Chain A
Amino acid sequence: MKLTLEFGGGLELLFGSVKIHEVAVPPPEGETKVTVKHLLLWIRDNLLKERPEMFLKDKSVRPGVLVLINDCDWELCGTTEAVLEEKDTVVFISTLHGG
């Protein structure tokens, strides 16, 4: 499944300082759907360059990271259970505090 992943708010530093990644994520074996939960594991195993604890915690994203599916808060789409569709854009953004 073709997806666009974006990392911001400093998270891009964990992905070779590249913000936008066009990826093809295969569904888990024996399944047809790609959930966000599966996407997180796929990112950890295929995309993440360093320090996974800066991105993930307890099978979800770490506190302080907002997940947006097609510019919509993942809380409104079922968080880790949200089912992704072809050409979806998933944004991971770390909350900023500077002023």
Chain B
Amino acid sequence: MGEMDEEDVVMRRISKLKKESVREEMVSRFARIRKEAREFREQLAFQEREEEAENADIVAGCKSDLDGEAQCREPEGQQFTKNTKQKEGDLKSQDPEAKKQEDRRLGSCGMENGSCAAGVFSSGHSMGADFIRRYSRQLLVPSFGVSGQKKLSESAILIVGMGGLGSPISSYLAASGVGRLGLVDSDVVELSNLHRQIIHTEAFIGQPKVSSAASACLALNSSILVKEHGRGLNAANAVEIISQYDVVVDATDNIPSRYLISDACVATAKPLVSGAALGLEGQLSVYNHKSGPCYRCLFPVPPPPGTRQRCSDNGVLGVVPGIIGTLQALEAIKLASGFGETLSSRMLLLDAFSTRIHMVKLRGRSPNCFACGDAPQISAANLHEFDYERFTESTLSEEGPKAQELIPVNDRLSSAELKKLLESGKPHVLLDVRDSHEYVISSLPSSLNIPLSLLKERLSVLQSAVDSVVSFPDNPQEKEYPGLQDVGSSKEECSSVVPSRENTSIYVVCRRGNDSQKAVQFLRSEGFSSAVDVVGGLESWAKDVDERFPFY
């Protein structure tokens, strides 16, 4: 028992001593660590000061390198100097007019011969310090690396369309260091573009998209060359322009352009990255590459005109072309630098509503293809003779379908006549046959909305509106246009006039004056013989009667 006690006491003492020594050791270790940390912080601060000074030197050095290089290397030197100046100018001034002039100058100079080699390397194609610093994070990607970056910097990529797809494509390709970028578009920047065409800014509204995009690309990366093709692509110039590049990206918004670009790529043996986006959906593929199909292999016959949808009619969520365009940039980089697996013979389908991506396997090149088959009908020599607009029954722009004429013009109202009639106080019903999601954006006061597709089943709604028709003057100019917040403010008011299907005027409007004619034809067949529609619809109202009308 005593033995045990003694042992216990000894053990406790040992344990206590151990604890004390551990504590002491800990305390001294913490003190040491604190001291080291303090020293480290001081060292770090010193290094940062040193680095700042060094960076300033590097920036100055790069600039003088660039200037020096520019002097000794003609004709590329001119472009270098201009790019440098352009960048300086951009920093100094945000004046869009000055930018525009600078861009014009830039676009018209250099690279007219269309030869390759963008000249971003210092002599002997070794990589300069600024080159390594700029692309260091890409150089570190093993499968891309130095060889990928060099190939990319020696490549030339053409982007057709500077819209929702072209915006991320041109931004990423400029930033990633594609040697030479060609930008094609003949449109000007509009306010309704900006929600998705993010390369353009408010300052450039009304100016050519190619100027706006070129300026943004050079602001991102002044070491690349950017060429503007502001007249757009057509059958006459497609082969000549496309042959100046290594990879082509289709970022257009219309069917004839898609056939034209695909054919010209086949004729000049260039791979094509093709993307499209509408509403909440996107599609992406690579055509005319290896054993894969061209656009015509997949779609030998263009879709009938009535089946086509456009962004300006059907809408598009801005981020959707952003996603597809970014993926197009990826495919273009892979093709230009020769690494990775491309989407040749595959198609990516994006459903943004439920965030689903389908990867599908496509047919290969078709031996019967009109463009790339065993007996092709189209070549670089004869492509300019092909009428793409007639082939696809539409124009080389996002232009809408031609105004229809189901009813003779003299049996219809102009928007100005509609205004007079509305002000006259003549008993009437103003019927708007657009879809309800469009009607809530903006509409004429006291109008009744029955979408064309529902007109037949909701004829009784129209009948009751006729039965309780408005009988006093209705001056839409004195009222605010209903829309967005005040949905459904259209009123049906009582009247002392005895109305009927035959004598009550029904003025029918739609967005552009096509659906309204179909509605009138139907209404007349149902006995509403005084139904009449408005030529040009609300578009014409906004243009000819009241500019305040928020047309979309």
Seen from chain A, the residues whose Cβ lies within 8 Å of a Cβ on chain B are 8-10, 19, 50, 53-54, 57, 62-66, 68, 71-73, 75-76, 91, 93-99
Chain A residues contacting B453 (CB-CB under 8 Å) are 50
Say yes or no: A64-B299 contact (C-beta < 8 A), given A97-B255, A97-B308, A99-B277: yes
Say yes or no: A96-B307 contact (C-beta < 8 A), given A71-B359, A71-B361, A76-B361: no
Give the shortest distance, in Å, between A54 (CB) and chain B (any CB).
5
Chain A residues contacting B161 (CB-CB under 8 Å) are 99
Give the shortest distance, in Å, between B317 (CB) and chain A (any CB).
11
In whole angstroms, what is the CA distance A39 to B163 when docked? 39
Chain A residues contacting B276 (CB-CB under 8 Å) are 95-99
In whole angstroms, what is the CA distance A63 to B302 when docked? 6
Cβ of A62 and Cβ of B303 under 8 Å apart?
yes
Q: Which residue of B lies closest to A54 (CB)?
A: B307
Cβ of A97 and Cβ of B301 under 8 Å apart?
no
Q: Which residue of B lies closest to A72 (CB)?
A: B361
Chain B residues contacting A73 (CB-CB under 8 Å) are 360-363
Give the shortest distance, in Å, between A21 (CB) and chain B (any CB).
15
In whole angstroms, what is the CA distance A95 to B287 when docked? 15
Residue B253 is within 8 A (CB to CB) of chain A in the complex: yes
In whole angstroms, what is the CA distance A72 to B302 when docked? 21
**Which positions 263-317 of chain B face chain A at CB distance < 8 Å?**
275-279, 281-283, 298-304, 306-311, 314, 316
CB-contact partner of A76 in B251, B351, B358, B363, under 8 A? B363
Residue B164 is within 8 A (CB to CB) of chain A in the complex: yes
Cβ of A97 and Cβ of B278 under 8 Å apart?
yes
CB-contact partner of A98 in B300, B309, B362, under 8 A? B309
Give the shortest distance, in Å, between B338 (CB) and chain A (any CB).
26
Q: Which residue of B lies closest to A64 (CB)?
A: B303
Say yes or no: A62-B307 contact (C-beta < 8 A), given A8-B349, A98-B276, A99-B163: yes
Residue B166 is within 8 A (CB to CB) of chain A in the complex: yes
Cβ of A99 and Cβ of B361 under 8 Å apart?
no
Cβ of A71 and Cβ of B358 under 8 Å apart?
yes
Q: Which residue of B lies closest to A71 (CB)?
A: B360
Cβ of B349 and Cβ of A99 under 8 Å apart?
no
Give the shortest distance, in Å, between A88 (CB) and chain B (any CB).
14
Give the shortest distance, in Å, between A63 (CB) and chain B (any CB).
4
Q: Which residue of A lies closest to B282 (CB)?
A: A96
In whole angstroms, what is the CA distance A19 to B276 when docked? 19
Cβ of B277 and Cβ of A98 under 8 Å apart?
yes
Give the shortest distance, in Å, between B93 (CB) and chain A (any CB).
31
In whole angstroms, what is the CA distance A97 to B163 when docked? 13
Q: Which residue of A lies closest to B276 (CB)?
A: A96
